[in-house]
Amino acid sequence: MATYTEYPPKGYRVRMSTYWWLGKWPYLKFTLREISSVFVAWFVIETLLQINALIGGPAAYTEFQDFFRNPLVIALNVISLFFVVFHTFTWFNLAPKAMAVRMGGKRVPNILISGPNYAAWVVVSAVLAWLLLRG
């Protein structure tokens, strides 16, 4: 008689290596894309620290800018920038696959879906840069 088990019965299963994603570029790309989220979270932490300094007043805010001048923080931010831009490109290139829009029985070309995303990115970046660079 079959007894109840919490997990499905164990058949023969090939144990995959923990490093399965290192062998092929598409797998590595997938994993790098997933890891980009860690750098997204790092940016949020930096932003929260900056808001905290802003609450402390002008002196605290100016003093806090030294944190960003620390060479280790700059190095980390350069790496983070690489990963976040990688996220942006992979995210927009994924959009046509997630939204398969059909018009007149034909699929709308990928570029018509990812294109507006890239245009929005340029506009948003320009507006934010303008706001922050005024003085």
Partner 1 sequence: MHKQRSNEPFVWLLFSAGGVVAALFIPIQLFLFGVAFPLGWLNGPSYDTVRGLVHGPIGRLYLLVLCTLPLFHWAHRFRYTLYDGLQIKHLNELVNTFCYGGAIVGTAIAAYLIWQIP
Residues forming the site for partner 1 (CB under 8 A): 16, 18, 21, 31, 34-38, 40-41, 43-44, 46-48, 50-52, 54-55, 57-58, 61-62, 65, 68-69, 73-74, 77-78, 80-81, 84-85, 87-88, 91-92, 117, 120-121, 124-125, 128-129, 131-135
**Residue among 26, 19, 29, 21 nearest 83 (CA):** 29
**Residue among 87, 114, 80 nearest 100 (CA):** 114
Residue 53 makes CB contacts below 8 A (sequence gap 6+) with 60, 61, 63, 64
The residue among 37 and 110 lying less far from partner 1, judged by its C-beta, is: 37
Min CB(104)–partner 1 separation in Å: 28
